[in-house]
Each structure stands twice: as C-alpha cells, then as structure tokens.
C-alpha cells in the first residue's frame, strides 16, 4: 500500500478524537490519506458545514452528513458520539466502505471485530471483515504490559488502578472539568451536567445517579476488550478498579504485579521495554499524564516492592489516550485495506 492514495471520511471531525485522528492521518508517511471531514448537524447552529478545523498544517472544511456523503470512500472512521454512529454506519457500509468505529457503538453488532493493531492481539482482521472497533485505550495499555510479562512469567498477575481523564468524554467532559475548577476557586456552585458529581480536585470511584458517564460500563468495556485482544488468560490475571481522576487528559495506572517466579528488576524492565513501551529508569523523570502527551507510547516506570511479606513490582504507567486511540484506529484501517487488497 506504500504510496497509494486512500479516500477516507471522519465522522465526528469536530470532536477531540476526530481532530486527533485527522492529525494522525496527515502525519502518515506510507499511505496518502485523502481526508473528508464530516459531522452531524449541530444543535446550536443547525449544521456542521462551514466549520474550519486544522489537520496537520492544513485547514479543512467540515461538512454536514448528507445523502451520498460516503460514496467512493475506502474507509469511514466514526469518531463522534454513539448516536451519530448508529444513525449513519449502515449508509457507509452500503457504500462499500470499511468502517472503523472509535465510538464503540457497534461493538455488539454481528461480524464486528474488536481489535488492537498496536500489538500482536489474539483477534485478526480476515477477509470479509468490514467493521472494526479499536480496543479501548486502557485495555491496550494493560494488555501490552501483561502479555509481555506473562510471556516471561506464565503465572504473572496484575492488580491495576486506572485513572480516567476528562478528555475521554470529549469537549463536554473537558469543559465541565474546567468550569468546576473555576467555580470552586471562586467559591461558586459547580456545574454537574456530565458527571452529576464534583470531579475537579476529587478522585471518584462512582459518579452521580444522573451522570452521563458510567464508570461501571467503562470498566466493563475495558475488561471485555482486554479479554478480546489479550486473551481470557490475560484478562483473568488482571484485577482492575477504574477511578475518575481530576485531570484533563491522559490515562495513568498504578499496577502491582506478582510474577510467581524468580525475577530481578532488570528482568522485568527487559521484558517490558521496546516498541510501544518506553521505560523510565534511574534518574529519568517518572511518567505522568503530562509527559505522555503526544508521545504515542506507553510510558512505564518499575519499582520493586520492599515489604518483607510481599514480593512483586509496582508499575506506574501513563499514555496519551487520544493519541493511542487514533494510532490504533489508523492501524486497524491499514489492516482492513491490506486484507481487501490481498483478496481483490
């Protein structure tokens, strides 16, 4: 596919994830992506056409989804809300496009593959696959680390606390986190339209009853995707708790791993390092959601537990959630196109 031109549409192009995806496509060197930006009609202005967004160094017009919008597209990315995906994905499928659904709205549809193109995941794109849901970023983060450790220590187990950032809820989540922060510093009542709880300056294991964010369902999806891309044995070896963190961007996770076998610090670092994982060692600054921004890698530091009664290692991990999701989506699209090319 090197040097070929691929026509793609991004539905939800005005979303945070849509913008990150456009940037990722424009940064590609092996495939030339001819990008069309689409969005549903916006309630405040009645239409999406006329918006201008940046993709790399270019300014591109966002168009409203209208009949025939998917004609001639090789791939359609759905990067907006689940409702928009459910309304329009069959149009894209009928037009003959491959579909990459970043909203996960199609995860339960027959024939849909949940996939990570960033690792040697269990599920593979095969001939006839038309719709792929890129695995959740937190699932990819945990799967990469645990599959590497279990390749060296077959009985390794992980106990993970994963921190959810506001940017996972798009601009609405970021805006409410910002508004809550400003309100609290001004001794004002905080808005709670998205979270139905105070999330600024606060760690939460559960949100309000009327929240538009369901931490239980997000955690359930992470576990499902972990089992799909890493295998049931890996998923069963990971206990996980998901917290809403008072941060704007970037997943972080604290993971205690028991190896159930001999292993020194250097052995653990060697097992983890390389490819998608960047290891912080020695005098390196420990990973953070800030240092992970735009890195395109999972940043990991390792510390041995020194308790006399406990043997294991603490992993502290950080990743740019939007960047990882965009990388995975582009990789899934390339796999879909490669299979299509081989079978034509």
Q: What is the tens place of the pLDDT at every residue in 199-229?
A: 999 999 999 999 999 999 999 999 999 999 9
pLDDT higher than 50, residue 44: no
Domain residue spans in the chain? Answer: 5-134+325-343, 139-320
**Predicted local distance difference test score (pLDDT) of residue 314:** 94
Band the pLDDT of 46: cuts 50, 70, 90.
very low
- How many CB atoms neighbour CB 231 within 10 A? 18
CA–CA distance, 229 with 218 (Å, rounded to integer): 16
Q: What pTM does this model have?
A: 0.90
**Predicted local distance difference test score (pLDDT) of residue 334:** 92
Sort 50 into a burial class: Cβ within 10 Å, 0-12 / 13-18 / 19+.
exposed
Residue written as token pair 């940046």: 54
Helix, strand, coil percent values for the chain (each to nearest 5): 35, 25, 45
Fold agreement (5-134+325-343, 139-320):
no
Instruction: Please tell me the CATH superfamily of domain 5-134+325-343, with its number.
Output: NAD(P)-binding Rossmann-like Domain (3.40.50.720)
**Predicted local distance difference test score (pLDDT) of residue 308:** 62
Q: Can you tell me the mean pLDDT for 163-180?
A: 96
Instruction: Please tell me the CATH superfamily of domain 139-320, with its number.
Output: Dihydrodipicolinate Reductase; domain 2 (3.30.360.10)
pLDDT digits (tens, 9 = 90+) for 282-301: 667 889 999 999 999 999 99
Q: Can you tell me the mean pLDDT for 188-192?
A: 95
């Amino acid at each position: 596919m090197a040097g070929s031109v691929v026509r793609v549409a991004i539905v939800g192009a005005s979303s945070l994830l849509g913008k990150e995806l456009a940037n990722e496509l424009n940064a590609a060197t092996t495939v030339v992506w001819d990008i069309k930006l689409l969005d549903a009609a916006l309630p405040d202005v009645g239409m999406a056409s006329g918006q201008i967004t940046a993709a790399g160094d270019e300014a591109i017009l966002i168009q409203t989804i209208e009949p025939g919008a998917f004609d001639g597209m090789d791939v359609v990315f759905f990067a907006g809300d689940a409702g928009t995906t459910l309304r329009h994905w069959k149009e894209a499928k009928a037009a003959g496009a491959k579909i990459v659904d970043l909203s996960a709205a199609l995860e339960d549809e027959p024939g849909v593959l949940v996939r990570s193109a960033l690792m040697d995941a269990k599920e593979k794109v095969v001939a006839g696959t038309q719709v792929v849901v890129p695995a959740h970023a937190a699932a990819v983060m945990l799967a990469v680390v645990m599959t590497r450790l279990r390749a060296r220590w077959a009985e390794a187990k992980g106990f993970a606390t994963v921190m959810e950032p506001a940017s996972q809820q798009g601009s609405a989540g970021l805006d409410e986190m910002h508004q809550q922060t400003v309100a609290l510093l001004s001794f004002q009542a905080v808005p709670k339209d998205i979270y139905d709880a105070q999330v600024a300056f606060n760690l939460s294991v559960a949100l309000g009853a009327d929240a538009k964010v369901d931490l239980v369902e997000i955690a359930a999806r992470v576990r499902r995707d972990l089992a799909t891309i890493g295998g049931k044995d890996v998923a069963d070896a990971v206990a996980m708790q998901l917290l809403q963190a008072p941060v704007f961007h970037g997943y972080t996770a604290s993971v205690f791993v028991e190896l159930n076998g001999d292993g020194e610090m250097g052995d653990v670092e060697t097992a983890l390092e390389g490819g998608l994982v960047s290891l912080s060692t020695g005098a390196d600054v420990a990973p953070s959601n800030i240092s992970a921004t735009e890195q395109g890698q999972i940043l990991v530091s390792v510390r041995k537990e020194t308790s006399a009664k406990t043997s294991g290692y603490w992993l502290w991990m950080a990743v740019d959630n939007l960047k990882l999701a965009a990388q995975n989506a582009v990789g899934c699209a390339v796999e879909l196109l490669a299979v299509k090319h081989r079978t034509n």
